[in-house]
Amino acid sequence: MEADYKEEKKKLMISYAKREIIDAVIKIINRKGIKELTMNEVAKQAGIAKGTLYIYFENKNDLLESAIETSLEPLYMAIKEILNSDLSPDKKLENIVEFLLFFFEEHKKYFRVLIYEHQRSQDPKKRFIDNKHQHFLKRIANIIQDGIDEGLFKAYDPEMLAVMFSELLIGVTLQKIVRQEESSLNDAKQAIIDVFFKGVKNK
């Protein structure tokens, strides 16, 4: 019993330490950008010795991957919940648009992480091999296919439309964040919905 307690306490301490380090990474990315992210800088920001970083992370890339995963995990989970809901296909896509826009409005500190993730995936070889992105596109394509089957959407290639939807959503989100535009989130949401759905919805 005592051994289990100690093991659980150890896990919590490791989790807390990693969280503190990842928070330091996010602060550096927001303040200085990805290029200025070094193990020395992270250690300084986190208030720990550089050698301590290597207890939890193999290298800078491992640290950066963990920061991306941790930052965007709530977004992935919420989108997954929407995808698995009983909503109609068009409502699922609308809810994804709304959630993504509001998520980054409330969590602005993650916007540079999203920018880096987006830029990193611009290489077609990386983007379309990436399992997470590929899985997202497949789920979106399935929703669009459901919409086609139900007569909601025109019968275009669902995989092509999934890519268009993804790029439109990410592009508008990045533009709004980078330019710090004052337009309302509802306006941005409506613009995305109008542009996408007016092209695929049956009248």
Cβ atoms of 143 and 83 within 8 Å: the answer is yes
**DSSP label of 128:** T
Domain 1-57 annotated CATH 3.40.50.2300: no
- Per residue in 16-55, pLDDT (tens digit) is 688 888 888 888 877 777 777 888 988 888 888 888 888 8
Examine domains 1-57 and 67-200 and report if their fold is the same: no
Tokens representing 121 are 């995936």
Q: What is the pLDDT of residue 127?
A: 47
Cβ atoms of 89 and 146 within 8 Å: the answer is yes
For the chain, the structural domain boundaries read 1-57, 67-200
**Best CA proximity match to 167, nearest among 196, 201, 198, 188:** 196
**Best CA proximity match to 106, nearest among 64, 80, 75, 68:** 75
What whole-number distance in Å separates Cα of residue 19 and Cα of residue 56? Answer: 10
- Per residue in 59-85, pLDDT (tens digit) is 888 888 888 788 778 888 888 899 999
More confident residue, 158 or 6: 158
Q: Which CATH class is domain 67-200?
A: mainly alpha
Q: Cβ neighbours of residue 90 under 8 Å, at least 6 residues apart?
A: 147, 152, 153, 197, 201
Tokens representing 144 are 């669009």
pTM of the model: 0.71
Per-residue pLDDT for 5 more than 50? no
